[in-house]
Structure 1
């Protein structure tokens, strides 16, 4: 059962920008067939994910292959030290959430675990792959399960895992976006790890920002896959922001606000603060 705190996005089909000249139908079919082949390959080699030395290179290859299959060009700004860092240093990696392509791109840069909604675990083939990747599953409809999930997440971070979280709680079209919910940031505080914000934006080959890759409204994953497969020259911009060190924020709300501000700053969008800052009264000097 849903509840009043369940994240909801108002984005729908009316948010979609013009797609431009689509690729030919045979090429769309080839793209989807290539992506399916990559997923089946990933399933076949998934037992090798338990081998520490092979896991990250294999995962990175698979996620990059999915992007290539759909004709997506990934452009990364900043974060070279993050992409090449040694494993074993935990961090909460937070992104704005537009599309199912988001997590593909993040893992193409650097494979990591994810906080995923529990429904994904039941998806054919993909669900098992996500589970094998060490995802922490969240039941968004059950508030009572949240503390236990956050404790599990904090434990993974404390043990040195990178975990990708989308704190908006649901997908948005891109130009419109949601607030960063503070709950998951408590796991970073409890785990004593930094937060690494990453900002994502989608463009067409001519530079225009596009909302076509957004996974919005009541559409199915298949509908979204088909729409992405039609796009010509899709570019995914990834801006890797500076990490927010442990202890920099007073609490999880401030930490969420710092991360949200970093993402909007990287994208060049404006965001109003959650609450007004009350300044001390002016003191008039004696005459």
Structure 2
């Protein structure tokens, strides 16, 4: 399927066809079935645009899970672009690559994301800036929330919708994944990719729950740091609910 769709996707990207947003969605719908990833939804993605989805991040599997829900594109760190196979797939997904540690380029990178938001593309920001172990949410980085501000400047929209999203790996082969079993799905950066990928695929049936919070309107007077904090609190709450953790801390 990849060999058939990839050339068509490259042409669609080259000429700016709307098909370029739908082919990756089709691919991801098939990919989750091939990988044995069973996606369960709480809530629904917002229908309004511009739309920035702000999510926690645990694994390469997050891409498949979210990408199978709706047509969207991701914001990823620049070194992903050079990864074998995964870099190509990310480019075919129309990923926007950013250098998270290049403070001098933050404005230009936010403008690139804003252009995509203004064109009607739903964009996913993994706001932790890295992957976690799946049992909690790391502090959100605020810099790229400036893309919402840039989207307001670049478009005629009165507000950008910023929607908190949580991704929780909750089960495998019909059994609940506990705190110590969750590394099956979580892929922290110090774990080798290929052995992790192989172990995940051998498992055969992994349940992931994606929760969509209420969209928050980012308006001209909104503060990006306050927005980041609000999203972090909501993502943490939804993740804890999915994992069955008590309380809201």
TM-score (norm 2): 0.82
Shift of 1:58: 2.5
SS of corresponding position for 2:176 = coil
Task: Identify unmatched segments of 5+ residues in structure 2.
Answer: 153-159
Q: Aligned pair in 2 of structure 1 residues 70, 132: CA closer, same or farther (>3 Å)?
A: closer
Shift of 1:112: 1.4
SS of corresponding position for 1:211 = helix
Q: What are the within-5 Å matches in structure 2 for residues 153-192 of structure 1?
A: 153-192=113-152
Task: Identify unmatched segments of 5+ residues in structure 1.
Answer: 1-37, 273-287
Q: Give distance in 1, aligned partners of 2:230 and 2:220.
A: 9
SS of corresponding position for 1:256 = helix
Shift of 1:248: 9.3
Query: Aligned to 1:220, which of 185, 192, 199?
Result: 192
Residue 33 (structure 2) pairs with residue 68 (structure 1): yes
Q: Give distance in 2, aligned partners of 1:176 and 1:265.
A: 10
Q: Aligned pair in 2 of structure 1 residues 266, 177: CA closer, same or farther (>3 Å)?
A: closer
Q: Aligned pair in 2 of structure 1 residues 249, 202: CA closer, same or farther (>3 Å)?
A: farther
Q: What are the within-5 Å matches in structure 2 for residues 55-94 of structure 1?
A: 55-79=20-44, 82=46, 85=47, 89-94=49-54
Q: Give distance in 2, aligned partners of 1:250 and 1:161.
A: 21
TM-score (norm 1): 0.72
**Which structure dedicates a bigger proportion of its chain to strand?**
2
SS of corresponding position for 2:218 = coil
Shift of 1:41: 4.2
Taking only aligned residues, the RMSD between alpha carbons, in angstroms, comes to: 2.4
Q: Aligned pair in 2 of structure 1 residues 240, 111: CA closer, same or farther (>3 Å)?
A: same
Partner of 1:256: 228
Q: Give distance in 2, aligned partners of 1:131 and 1:158.
A: 20
Partner of 2:157: none
Shift of 1:102: 0.8
Q: Aligned pair in 2 of structure 1 residues 263, 105: CA closer, same or farther (>3 Å)?
A: same
Shift of 1:124: 3.1
Partner of 2:70: 110
Checking the alignment, whether the CA contact within 8 Å between 1:48 and 1:54 is kept in structure 2 is: no
Q: What are the within-5 Å matches in structure 2 for residues 146-157 of structure 1?
A: 146-157=106-117
Q: Aligned pair in 2 of structure 1 residues 41, 213: CA closer, same or farther (>3 Å)?
A: farther
SS of corresponding position for 2:186 = coil
Q: Which has the larger radius of gyration?
A: 1
Shift of 1:103: 1.6
Q: How many residue pairs align between the two structures? A: 230
Residue 161 (structure 2) pairs with residue 201 (structure 1): no
Shift of 1:43: 2.4
